[in-house]
Structure 1
Amino acid sequence: MSVPEPPPARPPTWRDDDAPVAAPPGPWTPVRAVTCATAVCLVLVVLGVLMARPDVAVLAAGPLVLAVRALRSRPQGAVTVALEASDADPDARGGAGNLHGTLHVAGPARWATVSTTRQGRPAADVLVRVEGERLLAVVARTVRTGPQEIATADVQGVGPDGATVADPTPAVTRTTVVLPATTPLLELPLPQRLRGLTGPHESRRPGEGGGLRDVHPWTPGDRLRRIDWRVTARRSPDLSELYVRREHAQAEAVVVLVVDSRDDVGPDPRTWRGSVAPRPQDATSLDRARQAAASLARAYLERGDRVGLDDLGVRRRPVPPGGGRRQLDRIRHALALTAPEGEPAARLRPPRLPSGALVVVFSTFLDDESAGVAARWRDAGHRVVAVDVLPRLRESGLYDRERLALRLMTLTRDDRMAELVDQGVELVTWRDEPAVALRVLARRAQRRAGAGAPR
């Protein structure tokens, strides 16, 4: 975290929830050095008078006068502090990276000491000049998504010449919501059946807008502009029968993103028990799931498809499938607020999905719950893609028994995911070139999109 030089001072514009915090009313107290120096000077003056040594008294009179002058000119009033998030900065709201905030310090202090911490860790200690008001830019680096603390600041005013200090202000803190960033994806898998009467993909149903389906004799209801005069001249030179070109209809894909928020584990297995929090510089499995879901949502929505969002860990109303830029914003905000909420209740049946939807499940697959739900969706006829979001694990520093437990867990997880593949669920590991794996899934079927749709 750094505290760079801010732009020129401007009048503070605090919102209702960013009201400045002032120190409790109280006197400005002298610092310990001034108190000790004043006491020594008084002792020297008394000794000079008692011992008839005017030189000693004169030697102590000068510093004593300066100390008294500093105490008489100490400021009056309290120091106010406010910390607000910078809404205008794209990084503060648009993805993991730099979080920006602005610290407002105002009051009669000439100087102020600012101590900042983030997530309980010391960040920066600086001495800044106030002179009525000062705006400080606060920048924090993060790899996490979701609700994030920008910083916690403690401020103490310092009077002229550093002779007096004000009472410390109460600690001020500010949080912001970091939306998951997106990764560019080129080719994406499609569901086995396409829906709708229009869209970006060519279906197998007859209609308009797609490629050539066949050439058929003209029937009542066919448009005259679809007459193929070359085929008609070749097959019916006397024009006793007309032939028209029939096309495939355009359709859209419906994609449902399902995030398993029950697990939020980091790359260090020793933090999985919950007694020790993951390090702030380590992205957890839920951070990867948010990024993966946001990337797929953006890629499908840019292609004109409809995307919805559901959560396996929390029973709340899902985000229904929709399209457009506002749908992407809605999904990213819902992903940012996705978090484990206590002990999840066991599901008797998987969530209901639209017919023919492509289901993408983002999970660590550390237990049978998410794998069982994905398998039931595959048995119901949906095309299911399982995205493994478990981070690359760090085994250094583990004891032998911890290493053995991790090995057993890894073998069980590998067997569970291999069983999913045997049941027809397609697997993608997000930590290993996800764009390439998704392209392979998109090209795996050697038939045109929507081949499973009825004619």
Structure 2
Amino acid sequence: MRAGGRDAAQPGPGAPAPWAPTPGLVWAVGVGLVLLVLGVLGGRPDVALVGTPAVLGALGAVIARPRGAVWADVVPTAGEAAAITGDLHLAAPPGTEAVRLRLTRSGHGATEALVRVPGRRTVGLRARSVRTGPQEVVRVEHQGVGPGGFLVGPVAAEAAPTVLVLPRPRAVAALPLPARLRGQGGQHEARRAGEGGGLRDIHPFQPGDTPRRIDWRATARRSPHLEQLYVRRTLAMSEAVVTLVVDSRDDVGPDPRTWSGIRPIRPDDATSLDLARQAAATVAQGYLASGDRVGVEDLGVRRRALRPGAGRRQLERVVHQLALLRPEGAPSRRVRAPHVTAGSLVLLFSTFLDPEAAELARGWRRAGHRVVAVDVLPRPHVRGLDRRERLALRIVTIERSDRLADVVAAGAELVRWSDDAAPARLAALARLSHRRPGRGVG
């Protein structure tokens, strides 16, 4: 965490508060009086002159002491993956030379600084974070320092405000498409005839066909006497409907010892929900940039889902919705799967530590949807685990591998987001053409 200051006008300080003398004031008065007494009794005016400035400086500091309390307020300015920024507004009563600050964040060490405050000042705050979602900015403890450091004000603490840290999408070259496209406009070529796409076939002229579509070469070749005219039919341009299903029930880190929830997760470790937010934001940005429609469903909480939509505003809604996802109490078992638009592509982001997400993926496959299961479990850290913990991790890994194998056997496709090759895997799935029914869908 680092701080950089700039002057700014802010509200005045609060109610007056007592300022206490420091040991420096006591020593200055004591030493000055001793030198004065020794100089007077010993007939040494030079010694008395040495002690006089110390006594006068201490008395001047007491007379000009600040009357009031230091006012501080933390205002978050932005929150994104890898950086949280905010402004610390300070206001000190007249006579205050500086303010002593102690900045702390949960799970991190403290940062102390002495900041000169000429009445009012704004200090910029910046903290590093690998987490997303609601995060605390910083907790501030402050204390005013009087002239010469002889007096200090009362210590006060400001509660840490919360900022919503948005996930940062990654770059993806290509994304898979559903088996059936919808709509009458978009960037993808559908299987049905329409306007704007590539060549579909050569077909006999029918009522409703425009004369400009007549292919005279094909007509001359197939019907030399012009008994029948032939037209070129093109593919329609359609849009894809994508549903992002995020399993917010689990928020586990790479240390298996924290999966039970008893031990806290290290603040510098990205959790499974952080990976899920990043993965979902990445694919949402890619699809919406192509003019497709994207919606969000949450497996953890039965709140109103974000309906599929398109455009820049929809991307902002999706990213904001993803940042708000978090575990909320003990989730109840779903009786039926969340509603998914017919013909849409389902991307399921889950750790697959329990069978519910896998059962939903198989159900969507039986309904005819193309399903991409995105594994967001971080790579486990096995260093430091004892024999019993390694055995427990091995059992959980075997069960999870069998569960994922059943999902793939049902026709879903698997992408592990913790791997660096996740974008390449999505691009490989995108090469499976949606024009041929069944290919790449199971």
The residue that corresponds to 1:26 in the other structure is 17
The residue that corresponds to 1:104 in the other structure is 89
Secondary structure of the 1:78 match is coil
Shift of 1:437: 1.1
Q: Could you tell which deviates more after superposition, 343-352 or 268-277?
A: 268-277
Report the AA paired with residue 28 of structure 1: W
Q: Is 1:3 equivalent to 2:7 in the alignment?
A: no
Q: Is 1:77 equivalent to 2:68 in the alignment?
A: yes
Q: Is 1:234 equivalent to 2:221 in the alignment?
A: yes
CA distance in 1, matches of 2:436, 2:55: 90
Counterpart of 2:54 (choices 49, 60, 63) is 63
Q: Is the 8 A contact 1:22 1:169 kept in 2?
A: no
CA distance in 2, matches of 1:189, 1:265: 28
Q: Is the 8 A contact 2:73 2:158 kept in 1?
A: no
Secondary structure of the 1:173 match is coil
CA distance in 2, matches of 1:23, 1:404: 59
CA distance in 1, matches of 2:309, 2:436: 20
**Structure 1 segment 10-409 matched on structure 2, within 5 A:** 10-12=8-10, 22=13, 25-39=16-30, 58=48, 62-86=53-77, 92-93=78-79, 95-107=80-92, 108=94, 109-119=96-106, 121-409=108-396
Going from structure 1 to structure 2, the CA distance change for 1:368 and 1:60 (only over 3 Å counts) comes to: same
1:100-152 deviations in whole A, cap 9, x for unaligned?
21212112211111110111533311111112122211110111111122211
Secondary structure of the 2:73 match is strand
Shift of 1:311: 0.5
CA distance in 1, matches of 2:325, 2:233: 47
Q: Is 1:442 equivalent to 2:435 in the alignment?
A: no
Secondary structure of the 1:206 match is strand
Q: Is the 8 A contact 1:227 1:242 kept in 2?
A: yes
CA distance in 2, matches of 1:213, 1:26: 82
Percent identical residues: 52
Secondary structure of the 2:313 match is helix
The residue that corresponds to 1:89 in the other structure is none
RMSD (Å), alpha carbons? 2.3
Unaligned runs of 5+ in 1: 13-19, 87-91
Secondary structure of the 2:280 match is helix
CA distance in 2, matches of 1:21, 1:200: 57
Report the AA paired with residue 253 of structure 1: A
CA distance in 2, matches of 1:398, 1:21: 55
Secondary structure of the 1:244 match is strand
Shift of 1:48: 8.7
Going from structure 1 to structure 2, the CA distance change for 1:234 and 1:254 (only over 3 Å counts) comes to: same
Shift of 1:297: 0.5
1:340-362 deviations in whole A, cap 9, x for unaligned?
00100110111111111111100
Q: Could you tell which deviates more after superposition, 137-146 or 66-75?
A: 66-75
Shift of 1:171: 1.9
CA distance in 1, matches of 2:390, 2:284: 37
Shift of 1:33: 2.6
Unaligned runs of 5+ in 2: none
Report the AA paired with residue 431 of structure 2: R
CA distance in 2, matches of 1:259, 1:412: 21
1:67-103 deviations in whole A, cap 9, x for unaligned?
22221121222211121123xxxxx34x312222121
The residue that corresponds to 2:400 in the other structure is 413
Shift of 1:185: 0.9
Report the number of matched residues. 434
Name the TM-score, length of structure 1 as normaliser: 0.89
Shift of 1:213: 2.1
Report the AA paired with residue 443 of structure 1: R
Q: Is the 8 A contact 2:285 2:315 kept in 1?
A: yes
Going from structure 1 to structure 2, the CA distance change for 1:120 and 1:190 (only over 3 Å counts) comes to: closer
Q: Is the 8 A contact 2:181 2:239 kept in 1?
A: yes
Shift of 1:39: 4.8
Q: Is the 8 A contact 2:107 2:266 kept in 1?
A: no
Q: Could you tell which deviates more after superposition, 234-243 or 253-262?
A: 234-243
Q: Is the 8 A contact 1:217 1:242 kept in 2?
A: yes
CA distance in 2, matches of 1:105, 1:198: 55
Going from structure 1 to structure 2, the CA distance change for 1:324 and 1:62 (only over 3 Å counts) comes to: closer
Q: Could you tell which deviates more after superposition, 248-257 or 337-346?
A: 248-257
Q: Is the 8 A contact 1:100 1:150 kept in 2?
A: yes
Going from structure 1 to structure 2, the CA distance change for 1:191 and 1:62 (only over 3 Å counts) comes to: closer
CA distance in 2, matches of 1:443, 1:353: 24
1:228-263 deviations in whole A, cap 9, x for unaligned?
222223333443432222222222111100000000
Report the AA paired with residue 187 of structure 2: P
1:164-215 deviations in whole A, cap 9, x for unaligned?
1111233243321111111111121111111112221111212222222222
Going from structure 1 to structure 2, the CA distance change for 1:154 and 1:449 (only over 3 Å counts) comes to: farther
Report the AA paired with residue 2 of structure 1: R
Secondary structure of the 2:226 match is coil
Q: Is the 8 A contact 1:113 1:128 kept in 2?
A: yes
Shift of 1:46: 7.5
Going from structure 1 to structure 2, the CA distance change for 1:413 and 1:451 (only over 3 Å counts) comes to: closer
